[in-house]
C-alpha cells in the first residue's frame, strides 16, 4: 500500500524482514519440537538457534536463481548455520511455513485493528451522548421525514460498530491456526506433536485438517468481515458528507486555520476526509471476492491463491487500520451546527407532523384512506406554497370537523417525537448492544 494511506505499525507487520523473522521463528520452534522427540541432537539445536540468521538482500539474490522463496530462505540459513542446517525444515513443506506465517501476520494485524476499533467505538459513544437531545430533522430518501436527534444518528453508528467488533474478534480467532503437517497434510514425515508445539508457542491452534494448505474459507471469512467494516465506515462517511452540503450545513469536518479547501475557490470547506474514507472503502471491499475465489484450489494444493494474498492481505489490512484511525479524528473533531439543525427543522413548516395528524383523524372515526387524502391535500399546499402546515390545517373545513386548535397544538408538540430517546439510549448502552 502507498505511504499516503498507511500507518507504520501495520506496515512493519508486512515487511519482508518481519516475514522472514516469523519464518525463522517457525523453523526454530519446529526444531525444538523435533529435538524433544529425539530427532534432532541437542547440540545441533544449540548451533541452529545460535547461528540461524538471514539477510533479506541475500534471500532475494538466491531466489532469482532458484525461483522459490522458501528454498532461498533455507539456503541462506544453511550458509550461516553450516552442516547442522540439515535438520532445519525436517518433514515440512513450504506451505507449513508460508501459511503459519500468514496466520501470525493476520493475527498481529487484527490485534492493532481491534484496538483501533475499540477506541473508535468509545469516541462515537461519547459523541452520541453529547448530542443525545440535539434535535434535527430525520430524512428518508433524502427528503424531510420526522424529527430525531443527532445523538440517535450516532447511537445507530455505535451499535453497528459494536457488531463489527464482535465479528472481527470471532474472525481473528478463526484465522489463528497453524499447519505443520507436511506434504498433502498427512503428517507422514513429521509428528503431529511438532504442529502442536509450534502452534502453542505462537499463540495459535492446530488446523484440524489441512491439505498442505490451511483451508482458505478462514481467510475469506476474515476479509468479508473487513469488507463489512469498510462499508460501515463508508456509511457514516456518506452521512457526514450529506450533512455538510452547503444547503444542509448541519455538520462539518474540522477545518484548520491554515487549511485550504480549494486551489481555485478560497471560500470552500470540503468534506475531504469523509470522501477519502468512502473511496478507500471501495478498495477494501474489492479484496473480498478474490479471497472468496481463493477457497477453490486444485486437489490438495496449488498456488493460485498466493499472488492474491501477497497483494490483498497487507493492502486491505493496512487500509482498514488507516481508515479507522482517520475516522476517529473525524468523529472526535466533528463540528455540529445545532442552530442550522433547528433551522432546517423549522423550514419543514411542520410537515413532519403529517403522520400524527393522520393517526389522530383515524382515532376520530375516519377511515385511514379518507384521513390520508385530507392530510395529503393540506400537506401538498404547504409543500408547494411554502406555507405553515399547522395554520393550513386550522383553516381546513374537513380537519376542523374533527380536530380543534387545541388538538392541533398538542399534535405539533415537538417533544412528542423525542419521548423514547432515553429508552433507546438505555437499550443500546446499558444492555451492551
Confidence of residue 266 (pLDDT cuts 50, 70, 90): confident
CB 349 within 8 A of CB 382: yes
94-253+268-344 and 351-411: same fold?
A: no
Note the pLDDT tens digit of each residue in 271-293.
Answer: 889 999 999 999 999 999 999 99
141, 263, 267, 299: the active-site residue: 141
Please state, as a whole number, how many other Cβ atoms lie within 10 Å of the Cβ of residue 249: 16
Q: Is 103 among the residues known to form the active site?
A: no
> Once rounded to an integer, what is the mean pLDDT over residues 116-134?
98
| Full-model pTM | 0.94
**CA dist., res. 331 & res. 360, Å (int):** 40
Q: What is the rounded average pLDDT of the residues 219-246? A: 97
The topology (CATH level 3) of 351-411 is Ribonucleotide Reductase Protein R1; domain 1 (1.10.40)
Residue 225: closest CA among 294, 167, 291, 183: 167
Burial of 141 (0-12, 13-18, 19+ CB in 10 A): exposed
Span 382-403, average pLDDT:
95
Are the C-beta atoms of 133 and 155 separated by less than 8 Å?
no
The set of cell numbers assigned to 416 is 412528542
pLDDT of 433 higher than 60: no
CA atoms of 382 and 380, how far apart (whole Å): 5
| CB-CB contact of 321 with 116 (8 Å) | yes
Check 85, 95, 224, 262 and give the catalytic one.
Answer: 262
Q: Residue 331 — pLDDT band, cuts 50, 70, 90?
A: very high
| 287 annotated active-site | no
Residue 206 parent element (H or E): strand 205-206
Lowest-confidence region among 78-82, 92-96, 200-204, 297-301: 297-301
Q: Where are the domains of the chain?
A: 3-87, 94-253+268-344, 351-411
**Cα distance between residue 94 and residue 101, in whole Å:** 11
What pLDDT score does 274 carry? Answer: 95
Strand partners, 149: 135
pLDDT, average across residues 171-194: 96
Q: What is the CATH number of domain 3-87?
A: 1.10.275.10
Q: How far apart are CA 189 and CA 207, in angstroms?
A: 17
Say what the pLDDT of residue 269 is: 85
Arithmetic mean of pLDDT over the chain: 95
CATH number 1.20.900.10 is the correct assignment for the domain at 94-253+268-344: no
Amino acid at each position: 500500500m502507498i505511504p499516503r494511506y498507511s500507518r507504520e505499525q501495520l506496515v512493519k507487520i508486512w515487511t519482508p524482514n518481519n516475514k522472514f523473522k516469523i519464518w525463522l521463528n517457525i523453523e526454530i520452534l519446529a526444531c525444538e519440537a523435533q529435538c524433544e522427540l529425539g530427532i534432532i541432537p541437542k547440540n545441533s539445536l544449540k548451533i541452529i538457534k545460535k547461528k540461524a540468521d538471514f539477510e533479506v538482500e541475500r534471500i532475494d539474490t538466491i531466489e532469482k536463481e532458484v525461483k522459490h522463496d522458501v528454498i532461498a530462505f533455507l539456503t541462506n540459513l544453511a550458509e550461516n548455520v553450516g552442516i547442522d542446517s540439515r535438520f532445519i525444515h525436517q518433514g515440512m513443506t513450504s506451505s507449513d511455513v508460508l501459511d503459519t506465517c500468514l496466520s501470525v501476520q493476520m493475527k498481529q494485524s487484527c490485534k492493532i485493528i481491534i484496538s483501533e476499533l475499540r477506541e473508535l467505538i468509545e469516541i462515537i459513544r461519547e459523541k452520541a451522548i453529547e448530542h443525545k437531545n440535539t434535535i434535527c430533522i430525520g430524512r428518508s430518501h433524502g427528503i424531510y421525514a420526522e424529527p430525531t436527534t443527532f445523538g440517535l444518528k450516532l447511537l445507530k453508528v455505535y451499535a453497528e460498530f459494536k457488531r463489527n467488533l464482535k465479528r472481527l474478534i470471532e474472525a481473528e480467532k478463526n484465522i489463528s491456526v497453524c499447519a505443520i503437517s507436511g506434504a498433502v497434510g498427512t503428517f507422514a514425515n513429521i509428528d503431529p506433536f511438532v504442529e502442536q508445539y509450534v502452534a502453542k508457542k505462537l499463540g495459535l491452534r492446530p488446523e484440524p485438517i489441512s491439505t498442505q494448505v490451511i483451508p482458505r474459507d478462514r481467510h475469506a471469512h476474515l476479509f468479508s468481515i473487513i469488507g463489512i467494516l469498510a462499508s460501515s465506515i463508508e456509511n457514516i462517511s456518506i452521512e457526514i458528507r450529506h450533512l455538510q452540503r452547503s444547503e444542509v450545513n448541519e455538520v462539518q469536518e474540522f477545518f484548520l486555520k491554515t487549511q485550504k479547501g480549494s486551489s481555485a475557490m478560497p471560500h470552500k470547506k470540503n468534506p475531504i476526509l469523509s470522501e477519502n474514507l468512502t473511496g478507500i472503502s471501495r478498495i477494501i471491499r474489492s479484496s473480498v471476492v478474490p479471497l472468496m475465489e481463493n477457497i477453490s484450489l486444485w486437489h490438495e494444493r496449488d498456488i493460485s491463491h498466493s499472488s492474491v494474498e501477497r497483494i490483498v492481505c497487507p493492502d486491505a489490512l493496512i487500509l482498514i487500520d488507516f481508515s479507522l484511525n482517520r475516522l476517529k479524528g473525524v468523529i472526535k473533531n466533528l463540528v455540529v451546527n445545532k442552530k442550522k439543525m433547528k433551522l432546517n427543522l423549522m423550514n419543514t413548516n411542520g410537515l413532519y407532523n403529517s403522520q400524527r395528524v393522520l393517526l389522530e383523524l383515524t382515532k376520530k372515526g375516519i377511515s385511514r384512506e379518507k384521513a390520508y387524502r385530507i392530510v395529503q391535500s393540506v400537506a401538498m399546499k404547504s409543500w408547494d406554497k411554502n406555507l405553515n402546515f399547522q395554520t393550513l390545517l386550522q383553516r381546513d373545513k374537513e380537519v376542523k370537523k374533527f380536530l380543534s386548535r387545541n388538538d392541533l397544538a398538542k399534535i405539533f408538540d415537538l417533544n412528542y417525537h423525542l419521548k423514547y430517546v432515553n429508552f433507546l439510549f438505555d437499550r443500546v448502552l446499558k444492555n451492551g448492544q
